[in-house]
Structure 1
Amino acid sequence: MPSESDTPSSRRAADYPRAVLDLFDAYVHGTIDRRGFLQQCAIHVGGTAAATAMLTTLSPDFARGQVIPPDDRRIAVSHVDIPSPRGNGTIRAYVARPVGRTDARLPVILVAHENRGLNPHIEDIARRLAVDGFLAVAPDALTTLGGYPGDEDKARTMFATLDRAKIQEDFIAAAAHAKGMAGGNGRVGAVGFCFGGGIANLLAARIPDLRAAVPFYGSPPPIEEVPAIKAELLIHYGGNDARTNAAWPGYEEALKKAGIRYRAFIYDGAEHGFNNDTTPRFDKAAADLAWARTIALFRRTLG
């Protein structure tokens, strides 16, 4: 069983009881609070002290999970403030692009975060895309509340207070802004994770000229909006993610009925969040394959 001194490279989801992983999923998505997690986890691991250590090892370790540092010489990072369509201030986005390609017009990818706002892991995802030759734009839905607070629990609590309709409109506005950014080629794709996976699906339904959308373990758009999708979809699910996967059969039926171009992969044995390499739910084999498929799709569809 994991100890508090374990590192992300040594921790694996298989080391944890299934019940604890399910409790952590409920905690991350707001179904239970920290106290509820600890109380219920203690039943499975032998006490509150063990449950507290378990929560520590399950929580993100951004420093050790970082792949591309912000000062990597291959990329340039900046921020842009995008007007909110409701006239309520702006949404701030993190922008990462490759350097040394001043004459190139880069394909553009909107990156949609999980339900904690623009945390260091999602910024790292944007930088990874920049290293691969894309102009990556990652908005922060927590902008109106001061931005990502540097603490996952606080971020999750803040996020729960947001107007979901406003978040959706802000991401749509961000995609429109990204399309016209200097240095971009005007071709836009979207990738998102968890909550952001749902945003990627929604953008595909709401933005007619979106070229490609890649939702990682995200909820589908409203089924009645599926026929409006013009983007090519690449959909990733973890095989052990029963909560998210429950919506897939209905979504797939709607995609087939509407004749939407899509490919879907369910990675056997992988958990919800399997692409996030800052936690033990990371599954390197599944993540590497899913990411390679993602980059291949964006290169083919965005030019």
Structure 2
Amino acid sequence: MDQKIINLYDEYTHSQLSRKDFIRKLALLTGSTALAMTVLPLLENNYAKAVTVNEELLNMEMVSYPGVDGEMKAFLARPKNKTNLGTVLVIHENRGLNPHIIEVTKRVAAEGFITMGVDALSAFGGTPEDEDKGRELIGQLHAGNTLQNYLNGLSYLRTRKDGNGKTGCVGFCWGGAMANRLSVNDPYLLASVAYYGTQPAIDEVPRIKSSVMLHYGGLDERINAGIPAYETALKANHIDYQLYIYKDVNHAFNNDTSPTRYNEAAAKLAWQRTIDLFKKKLG
């Protein structure tokens, strides 16, 4: 697919561009509204395509813990009949705790961790089915309160009796940016993995205590613009980090429900690196 179309979709999902204006611009790129509507299903998420894990091996439940403005809702998965496990906080993209991120939470759990996918939109009653509405609500979140809600989530995981008190996090897109913020703001975090997330403020990098792993798509110019300064600061402050840029791969390359941006080879490699880090730091 034309990279200009993929870039337009990226703009749409990460800005206040309305759906009407997005379709209009898509029609200009494809040549007609009819062609735009043909291309649209190839761009939007299709949750039926998500790879599934063997749920019979997992215990799964909805849990809650105290947030700044009320209870935070979360999906929790863990291997059956196992205790003293490392814990991982999963942070969703900018549309909320959707079926894809719930599936990712299960995948991490299947690797041997207590894993919790938090719904950042709990204060609004939870993630809506309408993804555009979810994106709109994400933009209304209070940044400081949202950060604290995720910090509270890490604290909750550390108190679980079936866990070993060791915590890590992994986030995607909006969640990747939050993973970077958690690494800055939680001195007890042991491993932070950010997929194509914006970088933290450079003057905050010296506060990082966790190991950091960063995954970027080579074609993701918007996010990648912040890499050089971030890496320089990581090196200067002797932070334990790993940074990977996957050549000719788009933003959201891990999302297997997004057919035009998903890259199987890059996703599998990044995933194995992520799980290896968690096993090393949280076991």
TM-score by length of 2: 0.97
1:162 aligns with 2:147: no
Aligned equivalents of 2:227, 2:257: Cα separation in 1 = 26
Aligned equivalents of 1:139, 1:22: Cα separation in 2 = 28
Tell me the equivalent position of 2:277: 297
Residues 262-303 of structure 1 show CA distances to partners (whole Å, capped at 9, x for unaligned) of 010000011000000001211000000000000000000111
Aligned equivalents of 2:39, 2:94: Cα separation in 1 = 21
Q: Which residue, 65, 85, 93 being the options, matches 1:82?
A: 65
Larger deviation: 124-133 or 42-51? Answer: 42-51
Identity of paired residues, percent? Answer: 41
What is the number of residues matched between the two proteins?
A: 282
1:37 aligns with 2:22: yes
Tell me the equivalent position of 1:98: 79
Q: Which residue, 134, 153, 161 being the options, matches 2:113?
A: 134
Q: Which AA in structure 1 matches 2:77?
A: A
Q: Structure 2 matches for 1:194-213, cutoff 5 A?
A: 194-213=173-192
Tell me the equivalent position of 1:21: 6
Q: Which residue, 224, 227, 251 being the options, matches 2:203?
A: 224
Tell me the equivalent position of 1:252: 231
SS at match of 1:270: coil
Tell me the equivalent position of 1:50: 35
Residues 30-85 of structure 1 show CA distances to partners (whole Å, capped at 9, x for unaligned) of 2422111111111111111211222222111112214226xx1010111111111x
Aligned equivalents of 1:163, 1:54: Cα separation in 2 = 35
Aligned equivalents of 1:47, 1:165: Cα separation in 2 = 43
1:81–1:93 Cα contact (<8 Å) kept = yes
Structure 2 unaligned segments of length 5 or more: list them: none
Aligned equivalents of 1:154, 1:52: Cα separation in 2 = 20
Residues 201-231 of structure 1 show CA distances to partners (whole Å, capped at 9, x for unaligned) of 1111111111100000001112111101110
Larger deviation: 50-59 or 291-300? Answer: 50-59
Aligned equivalents of 2:126, 2:117: Cα separation in 1 = 12
Tell me the equivalent position of 1:4: none
Structure 1 unaligned segments of length 5 or more: list them: 1-15
Q: Which AA in structure 2 matches 1:140?
A: D
